[in-house]
Structure 1
């Protein structure tokens, strides 16, 4: 008995005589077959007719976890800034992104992105085919930064002393006390962070976000170690510097403009 070649789906029902067999149903992009309900689904869904969605579209790739990537880059940037302040990244030395990535347990990419940000801030400079060199700073640059900070912050603090109520300054006392505790610990990086937090809070009383951002950038640059200078300030110097914060709050609350001017000037001149 001769057996003919069966169609794609042998259901036991012969094809209608005189008509060619229907072609196989096209497969769907998700791997399934577009069965007999496909046409009815299209007819029932007017959105497919308008072109809002068709079964021939390829599925879009899922978005990359940009927030997570940004978080990693931010953590690396904070770690690099801490290493700069603590003197762990020595001025004049060149560091590669892969080596730093291995140190922080991340890939070279977020390290490279963080280093590019530090280059914009003036902390490092790009060395082609090698990595990033920590910028060598001297006493003159530190003096210039102190002068610019004084030009910005002294007039602002004098104005705030005239206008901000005393109770607002008392609310900042916990931040001043935090700088004292950080200074007592002897950790220069911890003190640097608490020092900037205090100054940001004081300047923020004026409501000028741009001024706070610029002043904080200058403050950060003033905290990087000098070439040939000590990697860490002595604990006594940190404690003395922190004590000026509480004295400054007292002078601001009392609206003693002369003391405010003197304290801010001394604070900038003695900061490293």
Structure 2
């Protein structure tokens, strides 16, 4: 009997771990859905949304919605209003410009160093990320493009081998993507132009044309 009792403990632990994984998965899915809704303009800056109402919209309980909204609050996207819900904040043009400036200060020097030190053949590793961003832009899918854009920059910066750099750059990049000021929405033409810049940078680096690549990198962040 003692052996049987002991045998049940790991099974119970496994079930608890499974529940944690499932809950984390639901929260992640809700977080992705909320981010997509923000980029699509379905969640308006200045508006207040309740956890239960959003849970009903996504077919889940209010708990994973609140957890996802708390993550967005950490990213500066929403603010928590006790007993009311969450208000979507508005990024002013000035705030977006500040984020773009900080991103440039962080990423440009690293990318310029990589352009000079990484062998031309190694840049093939980032081609799939550039291609995915290009496909998302062509489809006009802002949410998909946001993910692909971050993935491209993550793939490039990953060549530096600095995990802390990736964490900081990812956070800044995500913060710069939403909410947009006022009623403005990302247009397909903007996505296509941005993706084309990615492809041009990779093409230059793959050919070992460091001078052109550096000019393109500076221009890319100058238009961010």
Deviation at residue 237 of structure 1 after TM alignment: 1.9
Equivalent residues, number: 216
Q: TM-score, normalised by structure 2?
A: 0.88
Structure 2: give runs of 5+ residues left out of the alignment.
7-11
Aligned to 1:109: 63
Deviation at residue 255 of structure 1 after TM alignment: 4.8
Aligned to 1:246: 199
Whether the 8 Å CA contact 2:90–2:182 is kept in 1: the answer is: no
Deviation at residue 265 of structure 1 after TM alignment: 3.3
User: Matches of residues 72-87 of structure 1 in structure 2 within 5 Å?
Assistant: 72-87=26-41
Q: TM-score, normalised by structure 1?
A: 0.73
For residues 81-112 of structure 1, give each alpha carbon's deviation from its aligned partner in whole angstroms, at most 9, with x where no partner exists.
11122221111111110010001000000100
Aligned to 1:181: 135
Query: By percentage of residues, which structure has more helix?
Result: 2
CA distance in 2, matches of 1:198, 1:136: 26
User: Matches of residues 24-103 of structure 1 in structure 2 within 5 Å?
Assistant: 63=16, 65-103=19-57
For residues 200-252 of structure 1, give each alpha carbon's deviation from its aligned partner in whole angstroms, at most 9, with x where no partner exists.
0000001111111111111111111422142231x222111110011111233
Aligned to 2:9: none
User: Matches of residues 206-245 of structure 1 in structure 2 within 5 Å?
Assistant: 206-233=160-187, 235-245=188-198
Greater Cα offset, 196-205 or 223-232: 223-232
Greater C-alpha radius of gyration: 1
1:268 corresponds to which of 218, 221, 224: 221
Q: Which 4+ residue blocks in structure 1 deviate beyond 4 angstroms?
A: 254-258
